[in-house]
Homo-oligomer: A and B are copies of this chain.
Amino acid sequence: MFEFEIQHRDGRARTATFQTPRGKVQTPVFMPVGTQGTVKGISPQELLDIGSQMVLGNTYHLMLRPGEKLVQAHGGLPGFTAYPGPFLTDSGGFQVMSLGHMRKITEEGVTFKSHIDGSTVILTPERSTEVQEALGADVIMAFDECPPYPAEREYIRGSLERTIRWLERCHAVKTREDQALFAIVQGGVHPDLRQLSLDLTLSYETPGFAIGGLAVGESKEEMYPAVAFTAARLPEGKPRYLMGVGHPEDLVAGIALGVDLFDCVYPTRTGRFGYALTDDGRLNMNSSAPRTQLQPIDGDCDCYACRHYTRAYLAHLIRAEEMLAPRMLSLHNLRYLHRLVERARAAIAAGTFQPWAQAWAERYFRHAVPAWFQAALSAGAKAEAVEQSMVEAPAVS
């Protein structure tokens, strides 16, 4: 159970199979986000059709509504949502932190006001683990604090040390053997704090590790060195999960640096706003050009929308405020990200990841590949020199 078997390596990038109780996941993988027990607008059958392998659920939202006990009465998230494959739940920590002034952090846990009815709720490592056991995902996450950006060094240090004490408490109360508990490495964009968090976290030998605390407001130039530094120091034989990150360019850069799992609301959210992801960048379907274009969003895409609809039709649906518009754009965008990781996996297996990623980026960024992306790609090519080279992780503090 939870075996992680690497199949191909190409620089730091790798493909693997991750065995979960509800099936094997081919990594690298992008996980659609089903915050409230549904990937917005998309049915489980459609998720299977487009190649989704693992779905994320949000502990914070589900514990407040409908409550984890109702989900448990359905046999957990698979029974509740009718998605039959593997699930991952977050710990609720990140969402609670993002409530800002509405919450208070102590050693015990986090006290916050429900966004639904304003009631006072406390989330602790024990409670988060209890809720996640009731939700029944294959992978559950340790309850952590994700400090805001920017934050003082000393705050980040204290926070990551408390996160370790919380990890200890999650471990102590966890009862289900059919769930893997992943620990989360914090430390902001500071290599020494990342190293400290790694030192404290890795001793727990959890079946997988997440890179947390990123994509919270820092620039890509700050974020990717931290990803490179952390990913390179996580155990080779366990899955690495970059939390809450999933724009197309993030997937390619993250894969280059040895990340295996990604999740993000971006594909469905940007779809609801009328944007379509393509190899040529993000297509604004709200603009006037698509209204008369009789080609699909993406001629290479095999999603239902691209096989059946013209851009003109989808642009019409958007203007007419028809529900089918956000549904179809969300479906296409999810399929785009799934295809992107499928292509990355194929390139890694063929030993052509670097040229593939470079060619993808040249087109996607219209020959203006940003320096942060190029640096990530370069760092990813140098698997053997990780420990010596700190180029990818300059000391920011």
The interface on chain A, measured as residues whose beta carbon lies within 8 A of the other chain's beta carbons, has a size of 36
A98 interface residue, CB < 8 Å from B? Answer: no
* Cross-interface CB contact of A38 among B74, B81, B322, B326, cutoff 8 Å: B322
Assess the A312–B74 pair: CB atoms within 8 A.
Answer: yes
Q: List A12-66 residues whose CB lies under 8 Å from chain B.
A: 36-38, 40-45, 61, 65-66
> What are 10 A-to-B residue pairs whose CB atoms are below 8 Å?
A36-B316, A41-B322, A43-B304, A44-B308, A45-B304, A65-B316, A66-B316, A70-B292, A73-B312, A80-B313
Report the copy number of this chain in the oligomer: 2
A382 interface residue, CB < 8 Å from B? Answer: no
A294 interface residue, CB < 8 Å from B? Answer: yes
Q: List the B side residues contacting A320 at CB < 8 Å.
A: 36-37, 61, 65
Assess the A74–B313 pair: CB atoms within 8 A.
Answer: yes
Q: Mark A104-137, 1 if CB is under 8 A from B, else 0.
A: 0000000000000000000000000000000000
A291 interface residue, CB < 8 Å from B? Answer: yes
8 further A-B contacts with Cβ under 8 Å, apart from A37-B313, A43-B324, A65-B316, are A43-B327, A65-B319, A70-B291, A70-B316, A74-B313, A80-B310, A80-B313, A323-B323
A56 to chain B, nearest CB (A): 15
A192 to chain B, nearest CB (A): 42
Q: List the B side residues contacting A291 at CB < 8 Å.
A: 66, 70
Q: Mark A313-348, 1 if CB is under 8 A from B, else 0.
A: 100110110111011000000000000000000000
A155 interface residue, CB < 8 Å from B? Answer: no
Assess the B38–A317 pair: CB atoms within 8 A.
Answer: yes
Closest Cβ neighbor of A291 among chain B residues? B66
Q: List the B side residues contacting A66 at CB < 8 Å.
A: 291, 312, 316, 319
Assess the A322–B36 pair: CB atoms within 8 A.
Answer: yes
Assess the A326–B324 pair: CB atoms within 8 A.
Answer: no
Q: Mark A179-190, 1 if CB is under 8 A from B, else 0.
A: 000000000000
Q: Which of A70, A291, A304, A324 has the most CB of B within 10 A?
A: A324
Q: How far is the CA of A312 from the CA of B323 in the complex (A)?
A: 23
Shortest Cβ-Cβ A-B pairs, 5 listed: A82-B308, A41-B323, A36-B320, A66-B316, A38-B324
A49 to chain B, nearest CB (A): 10
Q: List the B side residues contacting A43 at CB < 8 Å.
A: 304, 324, 327
Q: List the B side residues contacting A304 at CB < 8 Å.
A: 43, 45
Closest Cβ neighbor of A44 among chain B residues? B308
A204 interface residue, CB < 8 Å from B? Answer: no
A309 interface residue, CB < 8 Å from B? Answer: yes
Assess the B38–A310 pair: CB atoms within 8 A.
Answer: no
Assess the B310–A74 pair: CB atoms within 8 A.
Answer: yes
A40 and B323 in contact, given A70-B292, A310-B74 (Cβ under 8 angstroms): yes
Q: How far is the CA of A319 from the CA of B327 in the complex (A)?
A: 19
A158 to chain B, nearest CB (A): 36
Assess the B327–A323 pair: CB atoms within 8 A.
Answer: yes
* Cross-interface CB contact of A294 among B41, B74, B308, B312, cutoff 8 Å: B74
* Cross-interface CB contact of A81 among B80, B294, B313, cutoff 8 Å: B313
Q: Which of A65, A73, A308 has the most CB of B within 10 A?
A: A308
Q: List the B side residues contacting A81 at CB < 8 Å.
A: 313
Q: How far is the CA of A294 from the CA of B74 in the complex (A)?
A: 7
Q: How far is the CA of A81 from the CA of B66 in the complex (A)?
A: 36
* Cross-interface CB contact of A70 among B61, B74, B312, B327, cutoff 8 Å: B312
